[in-house]
Amino acid sequence: EENGHLNKRLKRDAGEEDAEDQNKKSPKRKIVLLMAYSGKGYHGMQRNVGSSQFKTIEDDLVSALVQSGCIPENHGEDMKKMSFQRCARTDKGVSAAGQIVSLKVRLIDDILEKINNHLPSHIRILGLKRVTGGFNSKNKCDARTYSYMLPTFAFAHKDHDVQEEVYRLDKETLEKVNKLLACYKGTHNFHNFTSQKGPRDPSAKRYIMEMYCGEPFVRENIEFAVIKVKGQSFMMHQIRKMIGLVIAIVKGYAAESIIELCWGEEKVDVPKAPGLGLVLERVHFEKYNRRFGNDGLHEPLEWTEEEEKIAVFKEQYIYPTIINTEREEKSMVNWLNTLSIHDFNSSVVGMQANNKNAKNSSDLEGSDGCDDDSD
């Protein structure tokens, strides 16, 4: 019996060593992972090594990569060792349906299944592709598409329309919203849409390819709509401020001419919409695809086969989180109540006083984390 136990133990030890040897032999390759996650309860995407107080998406991802055997433990402690790079930083509470990270891993068998087994259900790896050795997901990305899901009562006029749950968006108001969103298209100086840049900072100029609001739909008795925006890159708070200003105009707090005023050097008091509805939809690698996508060695970074999985994940985890959180915490309702505090014709001095008053409510929301270029 003792010999039997000993043989079993020796076999088990040998099996573990074989697995370890297999891991060591598995070649390390540069890959990208397609990620989807619900950001509620997380302090954003980017890991803060040494700070366990604020949990991030990358904390859970790195832990799963180590436990699945894709990366050695010391690479988890020092992410530079695996050449890790995320395509876009999403901030507190912000979700993603098409985030991309690039890194070097051991290409073990059933790699996606093994990583997902060590992740919570609200974080999924939906796809994997091999890329060139020097690929960096942040630097090689030509554009990002974000969506912003909001209850349509945000567009109800402050003086006339019925507010909140019974509100339904009419065709004329939707046309007005889209006319205003179209004003952002092209290259403009967005210094008024972030706290990070001055009016003469060249990096405040950004190129927006498209921005529009889709047809409304009803969920849980509340009507919602989704705004899509595609741009080369975004600064911190930029998308939320772009949407916040359009809401302020449609509601009747600000004149349409204020958008034109924002492109000038004068400081304009632009309100920042809540962070809850913001989702990183997809990232675009058009230049990379043209150069390497059909070279016979690499695949284009397109995710047609994963579209269905992305749609299912959004329906299961992202949309319900936005809808239920809106119902419970009323972040849009509370923010709309602060719009009257803003003086859209104020001077910088007046703005500082107003911002101080509004600070308590706006600071409850995370920034959109769209500061793609400020890693």
Residue numbering of the annotated binding site for substrate: 146
Q: What is the DSSP string of 104-172?
A: EEE--TTHHHHHHHTS-TTEEEEEEEE--TT--TTTT--EEEEEEEEEGGGGS-SSSSPPGGG----HH
Distance of CA 37 to the CA centre of its chain: 9
Residues marked as binding? 146
Which of the residues are catalytic?
91
Residues 6+ positions from 199 with CB-CB distance below 8 Å: 189, 191, 264, 265, 266, 267
Six-digit token pair at 348? Answer: 């910088």
Alpha helices in the chain (DSSP H): 2-25, 57-67, 73-77, 111-117, 171-182, 238-250, 258-262, 286-292, 307-313, 319-329, 331-336, 348-362
Residue 197's SS3 state is: coil
Residue 109 sits at φ, ψ, to 5 deg, of -65, 145
